[in-house]
Structure 1
Amino acid sequence: MSVGTTQSGQGLGSRLAALARIVELGPGKVEPKLLTDSGQLLLRAGDRLKLSSDHTVVALAGGTGSGKSTLFNSISGLELSPTGVRRPTTARTHACVWGLDGAGPLLDWLQIQWRHRFARASALDRGESQLHGLILLDLPDHDSIRALTDTEADRLIQVADLVVWVLDPQKYADASTHRRYVTDLAGHEAVTIFVLNQVDRLDQEELAECVADLDGLLRREGVEHPVIVTTSAITGRGVDNLKGVLAETVSKRRAATQRLEADLGRLTLRLAKIMPVDGASAPPSSIDDARRIGLTDALCDAVGVPAVGEAMENVYAARSGEWVGWPYTRWAAKLRPDPLNNLRLGDLRDEIHGLTGGSVSAQPAEVDTAVQALTDGLSSGMHEAWQNGIRDAARSRSSQLPEVLSEELSEVAPRLDRVPVWWRLLLAWQYFLVLLFVAGLAWVGTALAYGVFGAGSPPEGLEVFGDAASLPWVGLMIFSVLGLGLLTAMASRNFVVLGAGNERDALEREMRRRVAGVAESMVIEPVERELTRYNEFYSAMRGLRG
């Protein structure tokens, strides 16, 4: 039977997949020690779940003199592990296997030496079929001098499916055991058993007192429901009870999964302390339209898009006077200085000259402020590590952003020395009216000279120009030409204002489009990648909790 085929195994598999995603996304966000522990758990879980699920690895752990090896021999019914007065007596882990089929790879993974492996081939004959699938380990004493340099006991305690702590009445409260191991057992009650051995040394009252004291000690250290079995390996008292507990565990074939679930649960608590997700809403994986528009508006202000548009509109209107205004007014204006002086644009004057040269510049400080405003709004409520990640992503290209904005907008900045075609047509029309006005004045002059003052006779064929009777009609023509020119100038000015507004709107729309494109590629896309990473991390944290 494969562990992964059970419902619990499926839940464990999804949680391990979530942990793998956390390890992948965690660098820079989760402390390295926690990521290392998570990676080691993933490796251990992967190895254990690939090995025999029909065997349960039970480790007998304990300190020097606890009677652990004697208990091992008593359970196995064979003298497999050395015992005696020499301390420590167990230098290397011994293993006794009930049911060898499929146990070899598991024992190899546990790194149990061949000469220390033993099989209970006759277990079924002795009525111990309930232990079939048990791999019982007798670990080296964890508090021995050898343990200071040999971590075999610690390693196997970490990988065993079920840990049986063998304690004796004299040292069951030993600080080395409780400080190094018991305080880490919170949540591991299902895969941990406490054996109070050598109870043959106690009377009934002392035994009850020791059991009650041990139970209280374990509960204070976080083991909510400790399983305590009393035994005497020498007399055999309580050994059958311990075998019964082991048999029940082995028969369920769930100890391996429960151990991994317990380890995963403890790791989940550690992660939850630094990255809490309870009560928090799912983080966004993209930037909403309102924030996109806000960033574009802020960057447009930073690059001076409204000021550039206003300057362009003013220059457009001022220059149009040279082409579409009343010619007589333009000629009078020639006597005045540069018309830009009359615009009273203040600091925009330099911007106008810059526009005429086709260049626009962005202010780095204002650009940085715009980006900062975006990240502050997005990262509010996030863990500090992810807040920093969002800021770093938004500023990943901040040093290039002002230059790119300037270059991009310089491509669309208008050259205001261009002249629209309709301006040229209006200029030709106005000069045609001027010619008519001059011709009318000449007609008036000849009529006065020949028809009124009698200066002579007009040339042959041009008598009409010397006829005084034509003066009213010529005067009417002159005033009509002047009025038509004035009306044309006034109408053209209205068209200029309308055209300047349209040009400004078109320019600002194109500049905003360019700014939005730069913001998208250089700010929004990096931020959204980080938001997606955060969203996936958040989802993985929720999945890890099961």
Structure 2
Amino acid sequence: MTTMTTKPGLAARLSALAKVVELGRGRLDKKLLDEAAMLLLQAGDRLKLSSEHTVVALAGGTGSGKSSLFNAISGLELSPTGVRRPTTARTHACVWGIEGAGPLLDWLQIQERHRFSRASALDKGDGQLHGLILLDLPDHDSIRALADTEADRLIGLADLVVWVLDPQKYADASTHRRYVTELAGHEAVTVFALNQADRLTTEELAELVIDLNDLLRREGVEHPSVVPTSAVTGRGVESLKSVVATAVARRRAAIQKLEADLHRIERRISESMPLGEALSAPSSVDEARRLGLTDALCDAVGVPAVGDAMENVYAERSSQWVGWPYPRWIGKFRTDPLKSLRLDDVSKEIRGIATASVSAQSAEVGNAVQALADGLSMGMHPVWRTAVHKAARSKSGGLPQALTDDLAQVAPQLDRVPAWWRVLMLWQYFLVLAFVAGLAWLGVGLFVPEQLPPSLEVFGDSATLPWVGLAMAAVLGLGALSGIASRNFVELGASRERERLEREMRRRVAAVSATMVVEPVEAELHRHHSFYTALRDLST
């Protein structure tokens, strides 16, 4: 037995369909996906079986003469024909060249007792049919549900289908509605036998053939193959055998049937989800949208507010360490405006900003996530747009708390005192002591009696007093300048601390949003892109 070799195009399309089925779960109609999955299963099975045999099924309604035509083609009375109500209940098979056909007949589920082989001694010039497996199917309009189901199953599995129609019911709705309208693209593997031609005059037959062709074209069969036959007189039987023999000799019917089935399922999927501009949709979240989401979430959790408060408190606390002491001491005798700021409680309030505000702004968090999904899914099919929004919201319920927990770890440490504050404070108090010492010198020189111990005479020397006064003025000036410089350094340090804090908070917000929003969305975008890429490959 030789298995069938697929064309590269067919193999690629089958692979694309498998991808469409895999990625389309929950997106495409379940019935359509199940049909596609069944087609993949059938295609895989058929391609593993004999490529030397072509399965041709005679299908038709009750009374169409299908079994008689089966016997006429085979040249033997193999399929029973009824008298009062002609009907076929079980599938019969006639095989030209039985070697290697067994597994294929098993796959078709043809019972052993209904299998017949044309031995070489009986071929009588039918060598052109070698490799043919001819099936006489149950009537598709049988009152027996089992027979009806078997006919549908084998019509789907056969490599080529010959529809046997009779002059009275050739336009029967049950045939055309259930089967013919689904045959678009299957012309190469579908033949229509207008049987019982012996009951018609030549003019009537010609008229019916024209009418049947017109009917089939209206139903989407662009190039119908219609063969008038008569199982009674044998008219047209050889023509039909010739059509079948050509298909058998080419060994292409099975591949053509699979290609036609693929085309039909691709058309139905494309009608459900048109390719259109779908491949132009983003397959990932670009950097600009990531930054936009981070900005929106930072606003939602109050990162700028935390930065402002931290900078203000940093500056105010520094005045306790690096401000020129004299103005600070003088200020104690005035009402302290800073008490209204309740700086003692600022640390708790700032920490509260980094935690409580996330919950308070949960609506804004939701809006930021919604805006990201809206921008990315614009122009998508509604099903995929809903899927992108669902992915974006898949973890958003825990997003506020995740931001809360993460940002709480970087709440500003307001009790931290930079080392340079302490050094500057020592320097300023050294200047204060120097000024006090100068005052003491002046006091001794101006108000203390001239009789001083020799060791202290320098303090009473009036010639030194101007220099002491000059030194005191210099100390005051140096203290004032150091105070001004320290304030500038404090403002610069506060700005840097704010930038550091906001940068760290933004980093953490970006990391949380990437894990809880961007990654699920990108997974859905990648699925969307892969689905439509596979659908494009399926249609080529």
Bucket of the pairwise TM-score, normalised by the shorter protein: over 0.9
Tell me the equivalent position of 1:33. Answer: 31
SS at match of 2:397: coil
Residue 246 of structure 1, CA deviation: 0.3
Cα distance change of structure 1 residues 84 and 405 upon mapping to structure 2, 3 Å threshold: closer
SS at match of 1:382: coil
Cα distance change of structure 1 residues 350 and 305 upon mapping to structure 2, 3 Å threshold: farther
Tell me the equivalent position of 2:442. Answer: 444
Inter-partner Cα distance in structure 1 for 2:270 and 2:110 = 36
Cα distance change of structure 1 residues 473 and 532 upon mapping to structure 2, 3 Å threshold: same
Cα contact 1:308–1:352 (8 A) shared by 2: no
Inter-partner Cα distance in structure 2 for 1:53 and 1:503 = 77
Residue 144 of structure 1, CA deviation: 2.2
Cα contact 1:357–1:415 (8 A) shared by 2: no
Q: 259, 263, 266: which is aligned to 1:265?
A: 263
Q: 118, 132, 135: which is aligned to 1:134?
A: 132
In structure 2, give the amino acid aligned to 1:476: L
Return the TM-score normalized by structure 1. Answer: 0.94
Residue 122 of structure 1, CA deviation: 2.5
2:519 equivalent to 1:545: no
Inter-partner Cα distance in structure 2 for 1:398 and 1:106 = 54
2:489 equivalent to 1:495: yes
Tell me the equivalent position of 2:366. Answer: 368
Tell me the equivalent position of 1:339. Answer: 338
Inter-partner Cα distance in structure 2 for 1:505 and 1:275 = 49
SS at match of 1:461: helix
Residue 2 of structure 1, CA deviation: 5.8
Tell me the equivalent position of 1:213. Answer: 211
Residue 359 of structure 1, CA deviation: 4.2
Q: What count of residue pairs does the alignment treat as equivalent?
A: 536
Residue 354 of structure 1, CA deviation: 2.8
Moved more, 245-254 or 456-465: 456-465
SS at match of 2:455: coil
Inter-partner Cα distance in structure 1 for 2:168 and 2:298 = 79
2:396 equivalent to 1:382: no
Inter-partner Cα distance in structure 2 for 1:342 and 1:78 = 109
Please tell me the root mean square deviation across aligned C-alpha atoms, in Å: 2.1
Inter-partner Cα distance in structure 1 for 2:345 and 2:111 = 86
In structure 2, give the amino acid aligned to 1:449: F
Residue 328 of structure 1, CA deviation: 1.2
Cα distance change of structure 1 residues 513 and 17 upon mapping to structure 2, 3 Å threshold: same
Q: 145, 156, 177: which is aligned to 1:179?
A: 177
SS at match of 2:119: coil
Provide, for residues 411-457 of structure 1, a one-character-per-residue CA deviation record: whole Å limited to 9, x for no partner: 1222111111111111111111111111111111121113xxxx463
Provide, for residues 93-151 of structure 1, a one-character-per-residue CA deviation record: whole Å limited to 9, x for no partner: 11000000110011111111111110001367511111001000111111121247751
Tell me the equivalent position of 1:75. Answer: 73
Cα contact 1:318–1:340 (8 A) shared by 2: no
Cα contact 1:355–1:415 (8 A) shared by 2: no
| Match runs of 1:74-223 below 5 Å | 74-122=72-120, 125-147=123-145, 150-223=148-221
Cα distance change of structure 1 residues 65 and 351 upon mapping to structure 2, 3 Å threshold: farther
Cα contact 1:28–1:385 (8 A) shared by 2: no
Structure 1: where are the runs of 5+ without partners?
none
Cα contact 1:88–1:144 (8 A) shared by 2: no
Provide, for residues 159-205 of structure 1, a one-character-per-residue CA deviation record: whole Å limited to 9, x for no partner: 11111111111111111211221111111111110000111111111
Inter-partner Cα distance in structure 1 for 2:346 and 2:522 = 35
Inter-partner Cα distance in structure 1 for 2:43 and 2:150 = 19
Moved more, 456-465 or 79-88: 456-465
Residue 312 of structure 1, CA deviation: 1.2
SS at match of 1:225: coil
Cα distance change of structure 1 residues 351 and 92 upon mapping to structure 2, 3 Å threshold: farther
Inter-partner Cα distance in structure 1 for 2:439 and 2:9 = 104
Tell me the equivalent position of 2:451. Answer: 457
Residue 45 of structure 1, CA deviation: 0.9
Cα distance change of structure 1 residues 328 and 220 upon mapping to structure 2, 3 Å threshold: same
Cα distance change of structure 1 residues 270 and 123 upon mapping to structure 2, 3 Å threshold: farther
Cα contact 1:359–1:413 (8 A) shared by 2: yes
Cα contact 2:53–2:248 (8 A) shared by 1: yes
Residue 235 of structure 1, CA deviation: 0.5
Give percent identity, aligned residues only. 68
Cα contact 1:168–1:196 (8 A) shared by 2: yes
Tell me the equivalent position of 1:52. Answer: 50
Inter-partner Cα distance in structure 2 for 1:27 and 1:294 = 32
2:528 equivalent to 1:534: yes
Structure 2: where are the runs of 5+ without partners?
none
Cα distance change of structure 1 residues 419 and 279 upon mapping to structure 2, 3 Å threshold: closer
Moved more, 379-388 or 131-140: 379-388
Residue 357 of structure 1, CA deviation: 7.1
Inter-partner Cα distance in structure 1 for 2:183 and 2:352 = 75
| Match runs of 1:505-516 below 5 Å | 505-516=499-510
Tell me the equivalent position of 1:355. Answer: 350
In structure 2, give the amino acid aligned to 1:205: E
Cα distance change of structure 1 residues 350 and 129 upon mapping to structure 2, 3 Å threshold: farther
Inter-partner Cα distance in structure 2 for 1:217 and 1:47 = 34
Inter-partner Cα distance in structure 1 for 2:302 and 2:49 = 67
Tell me the equivalent position of 2:5. Answer: 5
Tell me the equivalent position of 1:407. Answer: 405
SS at match of 1:164: strand
